[in-house]
Structure 1
Amino acid sequence: MPPRSNPTARQQRLGAELRKLREDAGLSTEQAAALLDTKRTVITSTEAGRHGVSPERVRRIAFAYECTDQALIDALVAMCGDRVHGWWEEYRAVLPSTFLDIAELEWRAQGLRVSTITHMPGQFQTEEYARALFRAAIPPLPATEFEARVAHRVQRHRTVDRPDAPPYVLVVHEGALRTEVGGRAVLRDQLGHLMEAADRDNVTIQAIPFSAGAFPGSGQSILYARGRVPRLDTALLDRATVGEFLHAEAHLCKYRLQLDAMQRIALAPEESLDLMHAIASQL
């Protein structure tokens, strides 16, 4: 396969996992190249996600590295091949690649856990709510990118709307439920949209009330995507500019624990709906 100039986050992750397999086997890049009858530069390029690998090649690499975790090997094989042309591809060359990487991560996840503190989750934002958020950007976004960001944001609902949608658990702080992004009418419509989403079988929404006080993870929004095997989970931290994808087990464990703690102190789903109804009735 020809080298890629701009590998996606998913392609980079596959390369990183192949590097971990090599390191777990105690092999240098030179030793791995000799085992696989290739050049050291091919090994390093593959591990950087710049050189594609076929399913057969991944299985050969796993065999050469003496990996016996069949579930992991199968999961890595499923990550092979060229870029899948999902709905997000129409925004390539229009939006920063991180936007596309997030959409693909969500689409391929086996399960999603999300926490939001100051705004509604991207997967359920209405168009007017998204417009109000992006309108607040400093410096102002160019008109073309502004419209593209809004359209992309609204289309992220496809992940949880499709027939084979993954389980989705949201923990949302009362601050996000009350902040009048776009004004009272926009927030009222947004709350109604979120309450409708809570009716879906695959969606669980819990609210953390102001009365809960301090709690782990109160300073940032988190998106935790479950992979085919736990080793392939990903935590994404919300940033003003570029999201940060985390794969190290120490990070994954930390954010799993944070989300667990947030769910424990959050209201039950029924009580959360009652809170949203109460807020909406005040608008």
Structure 2
Amino acid sequence: MRSNPTGRQLRLGTELRKLRERAGLTAAEASQLLGVRPNQISNMEAGRAGVSAERVRTLAGHYDCPASAQIEALVRLTGDRSRGWWEEYREILPAALLDLAELEHYAARLRSAVVVHVPGLFQTAEYAREIFRQAVPQLPPPDVEHRVSFRVKRQAVLFRDPPTPHQVIIHEAALRMRFGGPQVIRGQLRHLLDMSDRDNVTIHVLPFNSVVFPGSGQSIYYAEGPVPELDTVNLDQSHGPVFLDAGAQLDKYRVLLDRMEAAALTPEESQHFIHDMLKEL
């Protein structure tokens, strides 16, 4: 029995629960079909108990799930039991941050929209350090450095083979903020330009003079799974990451990101915009 299931294990359980509920079955009824005790179904759906690939296929059959791609995607959630690099931070950082790194590691594609800060996967160490120094309550210097190193290691998904595609929309306000002063910001803007030259990275700037601004101004981080049902939205809150996976929520944030992209500058225009900002510093 697991005492601390990972985000990936929790998501598998959540999806199995969704399939069961869609089939109109109670946990007790599902347990009878599977020939196990009712609490075993509850433990599987809570991520506390492991689920084999065979059992996932059996459950999907009982739940009349016709989507073979979705079933195979769930099966893959059972397969990789290796400990990711983020586990070395298990006793150091909040579990939600480790779940975020795991989510990025397995994502097929990433999309984000930010208003105040440059996205975490595009931050320089100096910029990230200034962000963490502003945390409330204030973090001790060693904790700041742990978070900086963790954020930098997360960025490996953009450089591995093959690299994860990442489309990001950055509001001009985030580019205008002067975290750490001119020298830090110069380094950060140059890094954005370097990243924008990568084939797997697409950067859009949403300028102040845009006549529309979809959404409420919150940052959005959207991780696409192998099938749309396994997509996840991450909303960055002051108390830590919040993960959303309900179908209606996913639909809403897909639309928001699409509308923000339509309102933003093209990648080429965005590069010129950031170049001009550098000249002003």
TM-score range, shorter chain: over 0.9
Task: Name the SS for the 1:204 alignment partner.
Answer: strand
Aligned residue number for residue 221 of structure 1: 219
**1:98-130 residue CA offsets vs partner (Å, 9 max, x unmatched):** 111111111111111111100111001111001
Task: Name the SS for the 2:99 alignment partner.
Answer: helix
1 CA distance for matches of 2:215 and 2:150? 27
1:98 and 2:100 correspond: no
Q: Which amino acid aligns with 2:114?
A: T
Worse overlay, 35-44 or 74-83 = 74-83
Instruction: Note the C-alpha offset of 1:167.
Output: 1.6
Q: 1:111 aligns with which of 109, 112, 115?
A: 109
2 CA distance for matches of 1:55 and 1:145? 39
1:209 and 2:189 correspond: no
Q: 1:275 aligns with which of 273, 276, 279?
A: 273
Instruction: Note the C-alpha offset of 1:28.
Output: 1.1
**1:195-243 residue CA offsets vs partner (Å, 9 max, x unmatched):** 1000111110000001114411352111101111111111111111121
Worse overlay, 155-164 or 138-147 = 138-147
Aligned residue number for residue 152 of structure 1: 150
Worse overlay, 222-231 or 61-70 = 61-70
Gaps of at least 5 residues in structure 1 are: none
Of all paired residues, the percent bearing the same amino acid is 52
1 CA distance for matches of 2:157 and 2:133? 25
1:42 and 2:3 correspond: no
2 CA distance for matches of 1:138 and 1:27? 45
Q: Is this contact kept in 2: 1:52–1:81, CA < 8 A?
A: no
1:272–1:225 distance in 2 versus 1, CA, 3 Å: same
Aligned residue number for residue 249 of structure 1: 247
Alpha-carbon RMSD:
1.2
Which portions of structure 1, spanning 4 or more consecutive aligned residues, are displaced by more than 6 angstroms? none
Q: Is this contact kept in 2: 1:168–1:202, CA < 8 A?
A: yes
Aligned residue number for residue 260 of structure 1: 258
Task: Name the SS for the 1:245 alignment partner.
Answer: strand
Q: Is this contact kept in 2: 1:53–1:81, CA < 8 A?
A: no
1 CA distance for matches of 2:261 and 2:271? 15
Worse overlay, 58-67 or 172-181 = 58-67
Normalised by the length of structure 2, the TM-score is: 0.97
Task: Name the SS for the 1:210 alignment partner.
Answer: coil
Aligned residues: 281
Instruction: Note the C-alpha offset of 1:60.
Output: 1.5
Aligned residue number for residue 179 of structure 1: 177
Q: Is this contact kept in 1: 2:212–2:263, CA < 8 A?
A: no
**1:62-121 residue CA offsets vs partner (Å, 9 max, x unmatched):** 122222211010000011146432221221110001111111111111111111100111
1 CA distance for matches of 2:215 and 2:160? 29
Task: Name the SS for the 1:156 alignment partner.
Answer: helix
1 CA distance for matches of 2:259 and 2:28? 45
1:81–1:51 distance in 2 versus 1, CA, 3 Å: farther
1 CA distance for matches of 2:96 and 2:59? 29
Aligned residue number for residue 15 of structure 1: 13
Task: Name the SS for the 1:186 alignment partner.
Answer: helix
1 CA distance for matches of 2:101 and 2:174? 22
2 CA distance for matches of 1:84 and 1:281? 47
Task: Name the SS for the 2:78 alignment partner.
Answer: coil
Aligned residue number for residue 170 of structure 1: 168
Instruction: Note the C-alpha offset of 1:165.
Output: 1.6
2 CA distance for matches of 1:188 and 1:272? 16
Aligned residue number for residue 2 of structure 2: 4
**1:149-198 residue CA offsets vs partner (Å, 9 max, x unmatched):** 01011112111111112221000001111111111100000000111000
Instruction: Note the C-alpha offset of 1:41.
Output: 0.3
1 CA distance for matches of 2:41 and 2:83? 26
Q: Which amino acid aligns with 1:21?
A: L
Normalised by the length of structure 1, the TM-score is: 0.96
